[in-house]
Amino acid sequence: MNVNLLELDDVSKHFGGVAATQNVSLAVRPGQRVGLIGPNGAGKSTLVNMISGGLRPSSGTVTFDGQSLRGVPAHRRFALGISRTFQNLEMFLSMTVLENVMVAAEGKTSLAPSLTPRHQRTAHAQALEALELMSIRDYADVPAGELPYGIRKLTELARAFVTQPKLLLLDEPVAGLSDTEEFLEVLGRALDELGCGVLLVEHDMPTVQRLTEYVYVLETGKLIAEGTYAEVSKDPHVIEAYLGKEAEPH
Protein backbone atom coordinates (compact mmCIF):
# COMPACT_ATOMS: atom_id res chain seq x y z
CA MET A 1 0.00 0.00 0.00
CA ASN A 2 1.17 3.49 -0.84
CA VAL A 3 1.60 5.45 2.39
CA ASN A 4 2.53 8.71 0.70
CA LEU A 5 -0.02 11.45 0.21
CA LEU A 6 2.06 13.05 -2.52
CA GLU A 7 4.79 11.45 -4.54
CA LEU A 8 6.91 12.92 -7.32
CA ASP A 9 8.95 10.45 -9.33
CA ASP A 10 11.66 11.72 -11.66
CA VAL A 11 9.75 14.87 -12.49
CA SER A 12 11.38 17.15 -15.07
CA LYS A 13 10.19 20.35 -16.67
CA HIS A 14 11.80 22.08 -19.63
CA PHE A 15 10.94 25.55 -20.83
CA GLY A 16 12.48 25.58 -24.28
CA GLY A 17 16.17 25.02 -23.56
CA VAL A 18 15.86 25.72 -19.83
CA ALA A 19 15.61 22.70 -17.51
CA ALA A 20 13.60 24.21 -14.65
CA THR A 21 13.50 20.88 -12.76
CA GLN A 22 15.42 17.71 -13.51
CA ASN A 23 14.44 14.24 -12.27
CA VAL A 24 13.06 15.42 -8.97
CA SER A 25 11.65 12.75 -6.66
CA LEU A 26 10.10 13.63 -3.35
CA ALA A 27 7.27 12.59 -1.07
CA VAL A 28 4.88 14.00 1.51
CA ARG A 29 3.13 11.62 3.90
CA PRO A 30 -0.39 12.36 5.18
CA GLY A 31 -0.13 15.16 7.74
CA GLN A 32 3.60 15.59 7.18
CA ARG A 33 5.08 19.08 6.83
CA VAL A 34 7.78 19.22 4.24
CA GLY A 35 9.96 22.17 3.29
CA LEU A 36 11.33 22.92 -0.17
CA ILE A 37 14.22 25.34 -0.25
CA GLY A 38 16.75 26.52 -2.80
CA PRO A 39 18.14 29.69 -4.38
CA ASN A 40 16.15 31.95 -6.71
CA GLY A 41 15.36 30.15 -9.96
CA ALA A 42 16.00 26.69 -8.46
CA GLY A 43 12.65 25.42 -9.75
CA LYS A 44 10.58 25.50 -6.55
CA SER A 45 7.55 27.32 -7.94
CA THR A 46 7.72 25.21 -11.08
CA LEU A 47 7.42 22.08 -8.91
CA VAL A 48 4.51 23.53 -6.97
CA ASN A 49 2.77 24.38 -10.25
CA MET A 50 3.20 20.83 -11.51
CA ILE A 51 1.54 19.55 -8.31
CA SER A 52 -1.35 22.02 -8.36
CA GLY A 53 -1.90 21.49 -12.08
CA GLY A 54 -0.87 24.87 -13.53
CA LEU A 55 2.02 23.25 -15.38
CA ARG A 56 2.41 19.83 -16.98
CA PRO A 57 5.65 17.93 -16.35
CA SER A 58 7.81 17.27 -19.41
CA SER A 59 8.45 13.82 -17.93
CA GLY A 60 7.97 11.90 -14.69
CA THR A 61 4.89 11.27 -12.57
CA VAL A 62 3.03 13.09 -9.83
CA THR A 63 0.90 10.79 -7.66
CA PHE A 64 -1.63 12.01 -5.12
CA ASP A 65 -3.45 9.68 -2.74
CA GLY A 66 -2.28 6.73 -4.81
CA GLN A 67 -3.63 8.18 -8.05
CA SER A 68 -1.58 9.52 -10.96
CA LEU A 69 -2.36 13.17 -11.67
CA ARG A 70 -1.36 12.91 -15.32
CA GLY A 71 -3.96 14.81 -17.35
CA VAL A 72 -5.93 15.82 -14.24
CA PRO A 73 -6.79 19.55 -14.52
CA ALA A 74 -6.15 22.00 -11.69
CA HIS A 75 -9.79 22.27 -10.58
CA ARG A 76 -10.04 18.48 -10.23
CA ARG A 77 -6.85 18.44 -8.16
CA PHE A 78 -8.40 21.09 -5.93
CA ALA A 79 -11.49 18.88 -5.56
CA LEU A 80 -9.24 15.93 -4.68
CA GLY A 81 -7.80 17.94 -1.78
CA ILE A 82 -4.85 19.96 -3.09
CA SER A 83 -5.00 23.66 -2.17
CA ARG A 84 -2.34 26.26 -2.72
CA THR A 85 -1.33 29.82 -2.10
CA PHE A 86 0.58 31.88 -4.63
CA GLN A 87 3.91 33.65 -4.41
CA ASN A 88 2.06 36.72 -5.67
CA LEU A 89 -1.22 37.06 -3.85
CA GLU A 90 -4.24 36.30 -5.99
CA MET A 91 -7.68 37.30 -4.81
CA PHE A 92 -10.67 39.43 -5.75
CA LEU A 93 -9.64 42.88 -4.59
CA SER A 94 -13.08 44.52 -4.78
CA MET A 95 -14.70 41.74 -2.73
CA THR A 96 -14.60 41.67 1.05
CA VAL A 97 -12.45 39.30 3.04
CA LEU A 98 -15.50 37.21 3.95
CA GLU A 99 -16.67 37.07 0.32
CA ASN A 100 -13.23 36.01 -0.87
CA VAL A 101 -13.14 33.16 1.63
CA MET A 102 -16.75 32.20 0.82
CA VAL A 103 -15.91 31.95 -2.87
CA ALA A 104 -13.15 29.49 -2.00
CA ALA A 105 -15.53 27.48 0.21
CA GLU A 106 -18.19 27.47 -2.51
CA GLY A 107 -15.62 26.47 -5.10
CA LYS A 108 -15.12 23.28 -3.17
CA THR A 109 -18.82 22.44 -2.80
CA SER A 110 -19.99 23.81 -6.14
CA LEU A 111 -19.05 20.64 -7.94
CA ALA A 112 -22.76 20.05 -7.45
CA PRO A 113 -24.61 21.62 -10.41
CA SER A 114 -25.90 24.72 -8.61
CA LEU A 115 -25.36 26.43 -5.31
CA THR A 116 -28.43 25.96 -3.15
CA PRO A 117 -29.19 28.38 -0.28
CA ARG A 118 -28.06 25.58 2.03
CA HIS A 119 -24.66 25.45 0.30
CA GLN A 120 -24.38 29.19 0.66
CA ARG A 121 -25.22 29.07 4.36
CA THR A 122 -22.64 26.32 4.84
CA ALA A 123 -20.03 28.31 2.92
CA HIS A 124 -20.80 31.38 5.04
CA ALA A 125 -20.38 29.44 8.30
CA GLN A 126 -17.20 27.74 7.09
CA ALA A 127 -15.74 31.06 5.93
CA LEU A 128 -16.39 32.67 9.31
CA GLU A 129 -14.72 29.72 11.00
CA ALA A 130 -11.67 30.10 8.74
CA LEU A 131 -11.50 33.83 9.58
CA GLU A 132 -11.58 32.96 13.29
CA LEU A 133 -8.82 30.41 12.76
CA MET A 134 -6.62 33.04 11.12
CA SER A 135 -7.55 35.72 13.70
CA ILE A 136 -8.96 38.06 11.01
CA ARG A 137 -12.66 38.00 11.95
CA ASP A 138 -12.53 41.79 12.47
CA TYR A 139 -11.65 42.30 8.80
CA ALA A 140 -14.60 40.27 7.44
CA ASP A 141 -16.30 43.23 5.75
CA VAL A 142 -13.19 45.02 4.47
CA PRO A 143 -12.54 44.88 0.71
CA ALA A 144 -9.42 42.78 0.05
CA GLY A 145 -7.87 45.65 -1.93
CA GLU A 146 -7.83 47.83 1.19
CA LEU A 147 -6.11 45.36 3.50
CA PRO A 148 -2.65 45.74 4.98
CA TYR A 149 -0.30 43.25 3.35
CA GLY A 150 -0.08 40.90 6.34
CA ILE A 151 -3.86 40.63 6.65
CA ARG A 152 -4.11 39.93 2.93
CA LYS A 153 -1.68 37.06 3.41
CA LEU A 154 -3.78 35.69 6.25
CA THR A 155 -6.88 36.05 4.07
CA GLU A 156 -5.19 34.03 1.37
CA LEU A 157 -4.41 31.34 3.92
CA ALA A 158 -8.03 31.39 5.12
CA ARG A 159 -9.07 30.80 1.50
CA ALA A 160 -6.88 27.72 1.40
CA PHE A 161 -7.85 26.45 4.85
CA VAL A 162 -11.59 26.77 4.28
CA THR A 163 -11.36 24.03 1.67
CA GLN A 164 -9.99 21.61 4.29
CA PRO A 165 -7.25 20.34 1.99
CA LYS A 166 -5.38 17.08 2.41
CA LEU A 167 -2.32 18.81 0.99
CA LEU A 168 -1.55 22.49 1.30
CA LEU A 169 1.05 24.02 -1.02
CA LEU A 170 2.51 27.21 0.39
CA ASP A 171 4.77 29.22 -1.93
CA GLU A 172 6.74 31.72 0.17
CA PRO A 173 4.04 32.57 2.73
CA VAL A 174 6.19 35.01 4.71
CA ALA A 175 7.80 36.80 1.74
CA GLY A 176 7.40 40.55 2.02
CA LEU A 177 6.22 40.55 5.63
CA SER A 178 8.02 42.91 7.97
CA ASP A 179 6.72 41.27 11.15
CA THR A 180 6.72 37.51 10.72
CA GLU A 181 6.34 36.51 14.38
CA GLU A 182 2.60 36.93 14.82
CA PHE A 183 1.94 35.64 11.31
CA LEU A 184 3.91 32.46 11.99
CA GLU A 185 2.15 31.92 15.25
CA VAL A 186 -1.25 32.06 13.55
CA LEU A 187 -0.08 29.91 10.65
CA GLY A 188 1.51 27.31 12.97
CA ARG A 189 -1.63 27.08 15.07
CA ALA A 190 -3.84 26.73 11.98
CA LEU A 191 -1.64 23.98 10.57
CA ASP A 192 -1.78 22.14 13.89
CA GLU A 193 -5.56 22.37 13.87
CA LEU A 194 -5.92 21.30 10.25
CA GLY A 195 -3.38 18.47 10.41
CA CYS A 196 -3.02 18.35 6.61
CA GLY A 197 0.11 17.55 4.64
CA VAL A 198 2.12 20.65 3.76
CA LEU A 199 4.70 21.45 1.12
CA LEU A 200 6.26 24.77 2.10
CA VAL A 201 8.47 26.75 -0.26
CA GLU A 202 10.34 29.38 1.68
CA HIS A 203 13.55 31.38 1.65
CA ASP A 204 13.29 32.30 5.29
CA MET A 205 15.23 29.61 7.15
CA PRO A 206 13.82 30.16 10.65
CA THR A 207 10.35 29.64 9.12
CA VAL A 208 11.42 26.39 7.50
CA GLN A 209 12.97 25.22 10.74
CA ARG A 210 9.89 26.10 12.72
CA LEU A 211 7.16 24.77 10.45
CA THR A 212 8.60 21.70 8.77
CA GLU A 213 9.88 18.31 9.86
CA TYR A 214 11.64 17.30 6.64
CA VAL A 215 13.37 19.41 4.01
CA TYR A 216 14.33 18.99 0.35
CA VAL A 217 16.94 21.28 -1.20
CA LEU A 218 16.85 22.20 -4.89
CA GLU A 219 19.59 23.86 -6.86
CA THR A 220 19.25 24.73 -10.55
CA GLY A 221 16.45 22.20 -10.92
CA LYS A 222 18.12 19.28 -9.16
CA LEU A 223 17.68 17.92 -5.65
CA ILE A 224 20.99 18.25 -3.88
CA ALA A 225 19.98 17.21 -0.34
CA GLU A 226 17.15 16.04 1.86
CA GLY A 227 16.67 15.36 5.55
CA THR A 228 15.68 17.16 8.71
CA TYR A 229 16.50 20.85 8.91
CA ALA A 230 19.35 20.03 11.28
CA GLU A 231 20.76 17.56 8.74
CA VAL A 232 20.50 19.66 5.59
CA SER A 233 21.72 22.83 7.27
CA LYS A 234 24.98 21.01 8.06
CA ASP A 235 25.40 19.62 4.54
CA PRO A 236 28.40 21.32 2.86
CA HIS A 237 26.69 21.27 -0.57
CA VAL A 238 23.68 23.05 0.87
CA ILE A 239 25.80 25.59 2.68
CA GLU A 240 27.71 26.31 -0.50
CA ALA A 241 24.64 26.40 -2.74
CA TYR A 242 22.31 28.26 -0.52
CA LEU A 243 22.65 28.78 3.17
CA GLY A 244 25.94 30.63 2.86
CA LYS A 245 24.41 33.11 0.45
CA GLU A 246 21.66 35.55 1.17
CA ALA A 247 18.56 34.84 -0.93
CA GLU A 248 17.26 37.78 -2.89
CA PRO A 249 14.16 39.24 -1.36
CA HIS A 250 11.00 39.33 -3.49
Ligand X SMILES: Nc1ncnc2c1ncn2[C@@H]1O[C@H](COP(=O)(O)OP(=O)(O)OP(=O)(O)O)[C@@H](O)[C@H]1O
Q: Which residues bind ligand X (CB under 6 A)?
A: 15, 18, 20, 38, 40-46, 87
Q: Taking each helix axis from N to C terminus, what angle separates 149-161 and 97-109, rounded to the nearest 10 degrees?
A: 20
Residue 40 or 68 with smaller CB distance to ligand X:
40
Q: Which does 18 bind (CB under 5 to 8 A by kind): Mg ion, ligand X, none?
A: ligand X
Residue 189 or 245 with smaller CB distance to Mg ion:
245
Residue 87 or 122 with smaller CB distance to ligand X:
87
Nearest in space to 160 (alpha carbons), one of 207, 121, 126: 126
Q: What is the DSSP letter of 196?
A: -
> C-beta of 30: minimal distance to ligand X in Å?
25
Q: Taking each helix axis from N to C terminus, what angle separates 117-133 and 180-194, rounded to the nearest 10 degrees?
A: 130
How many CA atoms lie less than 13 Å away from 33 in the CB half-sphere?
18
Q: Which does 42 bind (CB under 5 to 8 A by kind): Mg ion, ligand X, none?
A: ligand X
Q: Which does 131 bind (CB under 5 to 8 A by kind): ligand X, Mg ion, none?
A: none
Cα dihedral across residues 209, 213, 218, 223: positive or negative: positive
**One-letter-per-residue 3-state SS of 141-180:** CCEHHHCCHHHHHHHHHHHHHCCCCCEEEEECCCCCCCCH
Write each residue from 31 to 50 as x if it is in contact with Mg ion (CB under 5 A), else as -, in one continuous string. Answer: -------------xx-----
Residue 47 or 69 with smaller CB distance to ligand X:
47
> C-beta of 144: minimal distance to Mg ion in Å?
22
Binding site for Mg ion (CB under 5 A): 44-45
